[in-house]
Structure formats: C-alpha cells, structure tokens
Structure 1
Amino acid sequence: MLKIIIPTAFMIPSALLLNPNILFLTLIGYSMLLSLLSLTLFNHPLTLKIVNTTPYFSIDPISAPLIILSCWLLPLMILASQNHLKTEPLNRKRMFLMMLTTLQTTLIMTFAASELIMFYILFETTLIPTLIIITRWGNQAERLNAGLYFLFYTLSSSLPLLIALLYLNNKYLHTSMELFLLNQPELPPTNTSPMFWLACLLAFMVKLPLYGLHLWLPKAHVEAPIAGSMVLAAILLKLGGYGLIRISPVLNPHPPALMFPIIILALWGILMTSSICLRQTDLKALIAYSSVSHMGLVISAIMLQTPWAMTGAITLMIAHGLTSSALFTLANTNYERTHTRTLLLVRGLQLALPLMSTWWLLINLTNMAMPPSINLVGELLIITALFNWSSPTIIITGIGTLITATYSLFMFLMTQRGTLSTQYRFLPPTHTREHLTLILHLLPLGLLMLKPSLISGLLT
C-alpha cells in the first residue's frame, strides 16, 4: 500500500519544484506509471482477502477498485486541465497541480484506512483541496457560493458521525473496520439507537448524495473547473457509498422504521432527478443531476445489505465513476470551443467535430447502461436485489431506466444533431490530448466487460 501512497505524496513537492518545460509531461508520465502500478492491488491472496500493510491501512476487494480508479483518474485530470491552465501564470499552474496531487494522496489514504476515526479524519481532509480547486479555479462568480454550499452541507452532516464514532471508541475500545466486520456488534436496544444509526449514515447520505440532500452537487459541478468536476463525479461521490458499506457492519440490526423511508426516498430521487435532466438547459448541470439519479440506485442497494445488492453497488460506483468523468470531459471540450454550456445555443456539433461525436455516442450509450456495458451489470444486480426485496420496486426502477435512456439520447441529439450555427462554423479542431483522455476513460470500461468480477467487491 505504501508503495502507492508514498510516491503519490512525493508528487506534491515535485509539482512545485519541477522545471516548467517538463512540468506537465513529467507529472502525467509519473502518475500514469503509478496508476499502472496500482493494478497490482487486484491481487488478494489471503483467505479473508484483506491485505494488511500497516496498523492503519489495509486493502480488500471493496477498497482496491476505488483506489485504482483514483490513481487512474489523476493523469486524466491533468491532461484535461491543460487547456484550462494555458493562460495561467506558472505559480498558479504549480498550485493547481499541487492541489490535485494533495487531493489524490488523501483520497488513496481514505480508501485504504482501516480505522473508522482515521477514515473520518481523512474523509474530512479531502474537503480542503476540493474546496480550493472549486473556489480558486472555478469559471464564474457563483463559485464562492457553490464552495460554501459544498463545505457546510458536508461539515454539518459529518459532525454527528464524529460523535457516533467517539461513542463507539469508548464502548468497544477500538474502531477497527476488520474487527467490527468479524465481531458484528449489535446496537444497544434503547430509544437512542435509531438516532445513533442516523448519525452514522447522514454524512455519507449527503456525500453520495441522497435526493433531498443533493442541492450542493449541481452547484459545485457547474462552478468547478474540469478537473474538479471529474474528481467530484468519479471519486468524491463514491466516498459516500464506500463509507456506507464500511459503517454498515457496526449498525446491526438496521431499524426498519428508518431504513424503509431512505430506500423509498432514494428510489423516488431516481425518478425526480432523471425527470429534471429532461428539462435541463445547462449541459454540466444535466450530467450532475444524472449522477444523483445513478447514486439513488447505489444508496437503495447498500441499504438492502444483501450480497447481490452490495456487488451491484460497487460495480455501478466504478462504472459510473468512469462514465460521468468522461461526460464531463466531453462537456469541457465543447465549452472550450463554444464558451457556453447552454444546450439550445450549441447544436449540430457533429458537423464541426465528427470524431468527438463518436465519443459522445459511445459514452451516452454506457451512461444509459446499454448491453454489454459494465453499467448494465451493476444496474441489473441492483434491480434484481430490489425486486427480491419488494416486487413493486421494479416499476420505479423500470421507469427510471427508461427516463435515463431518454435523457441520454436527448443530450446526444441536442449537442450533436441539427443545423450548426454560423458562428460555430470555424471551430478549432479537436486535439490528440482530448482523444487520448477519452480513450483512457473508455478502455477500462471496455476491458471490465470481459471480467466484471475484478470490481464486484464481495463476491470475487
């Protein structure tokens, strides 16, 4: 584990000290090597499949795919940000790259933490670089407001979690995830146990986010620079899902009076946010709301606590991470040329950028879970698990997948088809750098179709 954490941490000073001529090239090459090195984490030789490296960090089949996803996305974020940073002075470029590498280090440590209090501290630490990226390098004046929303939603919801973890530490004299998984402590049968359950889950519900607690997400996505949007959609949302999976063994038995409303709210959120996507005018906001819709499935699956549902949740989290990051990259390539995100103003880009249109089609098809994509594997597992739990849920999930297909096609047709406006006749052509970024998003999605068990978590 340390063979990835330490080299990633050394990228922070190297972002500040490298020769300006080779700054981007070296960091992209170095981070790409690290992401290839991280693929070794797929190997779990032990019976329990927990690979302990230090008393505080360990890896198992749940955290390994998320760590690999984090490592894989760092070079892609630097690649996608090059045009955005072109006009910036050198010290601002260095600061931006330093923030990205700091965020990367804290994310890897968060996913690898084996103590719940350690996990909480690192979980909160990821806030700081993300907040700086949004507020310092965002596009519009609204970015400060978006940063405040992001900060206060996350901080206010995670304070009850800290109190609950301190209570656990006092009661059991440890907060080790492995010990809780093996020991399965039961909640005290008192009137306060539902409150304790809710306190543990609220922080992760906001992070995912659950419908009703999601208002910070579209704001943060729309105002963030491209690297901020990519890391938010691909990894930071997954912190919530990962936290829910980790804290669940501590919370047995789950109180049905609280569990059922959360599942219903998550399923209702799938319908509501998918419907919002159909009426959305801003391209980045549309992709952000589609993330909330997909995460509704993940929340309902994790709440069910069945092996199929858990496997589906982890698979969908990884698949969605790559897909939504690719969608934001595509939205950014359009924005850099047309300087607008409004769907009505930019039509018929297939004529101006024909190769980009192919990427739009492929990624929209994976977003709507077309067979044989890995997204379909995750969604099918979750929908089947929900159907086994309660058969009427098939109506909500069925309508949800139908609306997802509709808005994915709507997004493709609105951006690519139609007559091209005269002001966009002479758009600059697409760069090899942009095509490389998109290939590196689609390559893992394509390869995982051959062996989905690599990222299915519990059942590998």
Structure 2
Amino acid sequence: MLKIIIPTLMLIPTTWLINKKWSWTAATCHSLMIATVSLSLLKWELETGWSTSNTYLAMDPLSTPLLILSCWLLPLMLMASQNHLSQEPINRQRLYITLLILLQILVNLTFASTETILFFIMFEATLIPTLIIITRWGNQLERLNAGKYFMFYTLAGSLPLLVAILALQKDAGTLYIPLLQNNIQNMPMSWGDKMWWTGCLLAFMVKMPLYGLHLWLPKAHVEAPIAGSMVLAAVLLKLGGYGMMRMMSMLSPMTKELAYPFIALALWGVIMTGSTCLRQTDLKAMIAYSSVSHMGLVAAGILIQTPWAFTGAIILMIAHGLVSSAMFCLANTNYERTHNRTLILTRGMQMILPLMGAWWFITNLANLALPPTPNLMGEIMIMISVFNWSHWSIIITGLGTLITASYSLYMFLMTQRGPTPNHITGIIPSHTREHLLISMHLIPMALLMLKPEIMWGWHM
C-alpha cells in the first residue's frame, strides 16, 4: 500500500520544483508508473480476507480493484486537462495538478482505511480538492452555485453518518472494520435503531447518488472542468458504493425491512433519469444523468445484499468508472473544438473526425451494456438478483435497459451523424494524445472481459 501512497505524495514536490516545460510530462509519466505498480496488488495469494500494511491501512478484494481504478485515472486526468489549461500561468497549472494528486491520495486512503472514523475523515476530505477544482476551473458562470449544491448535499448527508459512527463505537466498543464485519448484533428494532440505520447509509446514498438525492450531480458535472468530471464520475461516485458495501455487513439484520423504500427509489431512478437523458440538450448533463441511472442499479444491488448482487455491483462500478470517464473525455474533445455542448449545434462530427466517431460508437455501445463488456456482466447479475427479490422488478429493469439503449443511440446520432453545420467545418483535427486517452480507458475494459474474477470482490 505504501508503495503507492509515498510516490504519490512525492509527486507534489516534483510538480512544484521541476522545470515548467516538463511539469505536465513529468507528472503524467510519474503517475503512470504509480498506476503500473498498483496493478501488482491484483495478485491475491492470502487466505485471509485482508492484506494489512499497518494498523490503519489494509486492502481486501473489495477495495483493491477500486483503488487501482483511482490510480489509473490520475495520468488520464492529467492527459485530458493539458490542452484546457495550456493558456494559464504556470503556478495555476501546478496548483491544478497538485489538487488532482491530493484527491488521489485521499481517495486511496479512503479505500484502504481499516478504522471507520479514518474512513469518514478521508471520505469527507475528498470534498475539498473537488470543490476547488469545480469552483476555480469550471467552465460557466454557474460554477459557484454548482459548488454550493455539491458541498451542502454532501455535508447534509454526512453529519448523520458521523453521529451513527459514534453510536456504533459506543455499542460495539470498536471501529475496526475487519472486526465489525463479524460483529452482527441481533438487536430489537427500536426507532433509534432505524434512525441509526438510515444515518449510516444516507451519506453514501447522497454520494452515489440515489435518485432523489442526485440534484447536485448534473450541476457539478456540467460546471466542472474535464478532470473534475472524470474524477466525479469514475471515482467519487464509487466511494458511495464502497461505503455502502462496507457498512452493509454491520447492518444486516435490519436491512431486510428497511431497504424496501430505497430499493424502490433506486429502481424508479433508473427509469426517471434515463427518461431525463432522452430530453437533454446539453451533452455533459446527459452523460451525468446516465451516471445516476447506472448507479441506481448499483444501489439496488448493494441493498439486496446477496453475493451475486454484490459482485454485480462491484463489476458495474468499475466498468461504469472507465466508460463514463471515457464519455466525458469525448464530450470534452468536442467542447474544446466547438466551444459548445448543445447537441443540436455540434452534430455531424463523424464527417470531420472519423476516428473520433469510431471511439464515440464503441464507448456508446459499452455504455448501453453490449455483450461482452463488463457493463453487461454487472447489469445482468444485478438484474437477476433483483428479479429473485421480486419478480415484478423485471418490468422496471427491462424498461431501464430499453431507455438506456435509446438515449445512448440518441447521443451517438446527435453528435456524430446528420448534416455538419457550417460553423464547425474548420475545426482542428484530433491529437494523438486524445486517441491515447480514450484507448487507455477502453483497453483496460476490454482486458477485464478476459479475466473478470480480478474485480468481482469477496463473495465468489
């Protein structure tokens, strides 16, 4: 674990002390090396569930794939942001890189912490760099408003979590996660217990976000710069899912009764946010709503709590992290050329940038869960689990799949096909950097199809 965290920490002085010509190159190469080293964590030989580096940091098969995903995304965020920041003063560029590195360190510590209170502190600390990135480097005038939404939703959700953790310490006498997992108490169901259950999960449901608590997400995505969108979609939403999975093992006797409304809300959200995507005019808002729809399935899978549902949730989280991040990168390549995200004004791009059109096509197919992508594997596992929980749910999940296919096709047709407007015929061709960026999202996804067992967590 330390072989990832210490080099990542050393990236910060590197960024500030290196010659300004080399700052982006050095940061990207160094972070790529860290990402490559992190792949060694996939080799899991221990019989016990946990591999500990010290008393506070440990990894198990649930946190390892998510940790590697967050390491993999730092070089990609740096590659995506290069053009966006090329006109800024060098110190601002360095500050931006430093914030991304800090975010990665905090996310890694969140995934690796064994104490619930340390997990809570790191979970909250990720808010600060993200907030600065959105409000300082965002694109539009609304960015301060988006930052406010992001901050208040997250803080309002996490205060009950802090109280719930303190109550847990009082009852169980420990906050050590590997111990708590085996410490299931058959408590009588008082009102206080129900409040405690909701408090434990509310912060993660806001972060995921569950439908109804999701209003901060489209705003934050639309206003954030490209790296902000990538890290929000690929890593920060996964923190919510990871936290829910960690807490679920401690809440299990109560979940059977209390999860009903939340599962219903999550499945209803799949349909509602999918339908919202069908009438979006803004490309980034459309991808943001599609994220809410996919994370609704993940939330339903986690709340059902069967091994299949948990496995499906982890697979879908990782596949969605790669695919939605790639979609934001593609939206950004369009935006950097046309300075516009309105779907009707930027259509017919395939005629001008045919290779980008191919990337759009592949990413959209992955987003609508075409076989054999891991997205399909995760969705099918969750759908089967939900179907076993209630046969009626097949109507909602089936409809959700249909709507997902519709808006993915709509997005592809609106951006790539149709007559090219005259005002975008003179745009610059795509760079090698952009093709490399998209291929570094999609190649890992293709490789995961060949060996999915490295990311399906504990229960199999």
Sort the TM-score into its range (normalised by shorter chain): over 0.9
Residue 45 of structure 2 aligns to a residue in which SS? coil
1:49 positional shift: 2.8
Give the residue type in structure 2 aligned to 1:434: E
Give the residue type in structure 2 aligned to 1:380: I
Kept after mapping to 2: 8 A contact 1:134/1:143:
yes
Relative to structure 1, the CA distance from residue 55 to residue 29 in structure 2 (aligned partners, 3 Å threshold; closer, same or farther) is: same
Give the residue type in structure 2 aligned to 1:90: I
Kept after mapping to 1: 8 A contact 2:233/2:324:
yes
Give the residue type in structure 1 aligned to 2:425: R
Kept after mapping to 2: 8 A contact 1:187/1:252:
no
Counterparts of residues 47-66 of structure 1 (less than 5 Å): 47-66=47-66
The residue aligned with 1:243 is 243
Kept after mapping to 2: 8 A contact 1:453/1:459:
no
The residue aligned with 1:451 is 451
The residue aligned with 1:68 is 68
Kept after mapping to 2: 8 A contact 1:316/1:375:
yes
Kept after mapping to 1: 8 A contact 2:349/2:357:
yes
1:255 positional shift: 4.4
1:48 positional shift: 2.2
Q: Distance in 1 between matches of 2:187 and 2:77?
A: 42
The residue aligned with 2:366 is 366
Relative to structure 1, the CA distance from residue 453 to residue 459 in structure 2 (aligned partners, 3 Å threshold; closer, same or farther) is: farther
Q: Distance in 2 between matches of 1:274 and 1:248?
A: 27
Q: Distance in 1 between matches of 2:247 and 2:186?
A: 13
Q: Alpha-carbon deviations, 1:19-78, whole Å to 9, x = none?
A: 111111111111001001001111222112310111001001100000000000000000
The residue aligned with 2:277 is 277
Give the residue type in structure 1 aligned to 2:41: L
Kept after mapping to 2: 8 A contact 1:186/1:252:
no
Q: Distance in 1 between matches of 2:229 and 2:133?
A: 10
Kept after mapping to 2: 8 A contact 1:186/1:251:
no
Kept after mapping to 1: 8 A contact 2:189/2:254:
no
Relative to structure 1, the CA distance from residue 194 to residue 131 in structure 2 (aligned partners, 3 Å threshold; closer, same or farther) is: same
The residue aligned with 1:420 is 420
Counterparts of residues 134-283 of structure 1 (less than 5 Å): 134-283=134-283
Q: Does 1:357 align with 2:357?
A: yes
Kept after mapping to 1: 8 A contact 2:183/2:250:
no
Residue 363 of structure 2 aligns to a residue in which SS? helix
Give the residue type in structure 2 aligned to 1:362: I
Q: Alpha-carbon deviations, 1:179-220, whole Å to 9, x = none?
A: 011232344532211100000010000000000000000000
1:423 positional shift: 1.2
> Unmatched 5+ residue regions in structure 2?
none
1:141 positional shift: 1.1
Q: Distance in 1 between matches of 2:23 and 2:384?
A: 48
Counterparts of residues 358-397 of structure 1 (less than 5 Å): 358-397=358-397
Counterparts of residues 116-131 of structure 1 (less than 5 Å): 116-131=116-131
Give the residue type in structure 2 aligned to 1:39: L
The residue aligned with 1:46 is 46
TM-score (norm 1): 0.99
Residue 429 of structure 1 aligns to a residue in which SS? coil
1:458 positional shift: 1.7
Q: Distance in 2 between matches of 1:295 and 1:319?
A: 11
> Unmatched 5+ residue regions in structure 1?
none
Kept after mapping to 2: 8 A contact 1:57/1:113:
yes
The farther-off stretch of 17-26 and 283-292 is: 17-26
Q: Distance in 1 between matches of 2:188 and 2:392?
A: 33
The residue aligned with 1:290 is 290
Number of aligned residue pairs: 460
Relative to structure 1, the CA distance from residue 187 to residue 30 in structure 2 (aligned partners, 3 Å threshold; closer, same or farther) is: farther
Give the residue type in structure 2 aligned to 1:333: T
TM-score (norm 2): 0.99
Q: Distance in 2 between matches of 1:179 and 1:301?
A: 24
Counterparts of residues 82-93 of structure 1 (less than 5 Å): 82-93=82-93
Q: Distance in 1 between matches of 2:200 and 2:49?
A: 26
Kept after mapping to 2: 8 A contact 1:208/1:295:
yes
Q: Distance in 1 between matches of 2:189 and 2:13?
A: 51
1:13 positional shift: 2.0
The residue aligned with 2:348 is 348
1:256 positional shift: 4.1
Kept after mapping to 1: 8 A contact 2:233/2:325:
yes
Q: Distance in 1 between matches of 2:188 and 2:205?
A: 23
Give the residue type in structure 2 aligned to 1:78: L
What RMSD over aligned residues (CA atoms) do the two structures have, in Å? 0.9
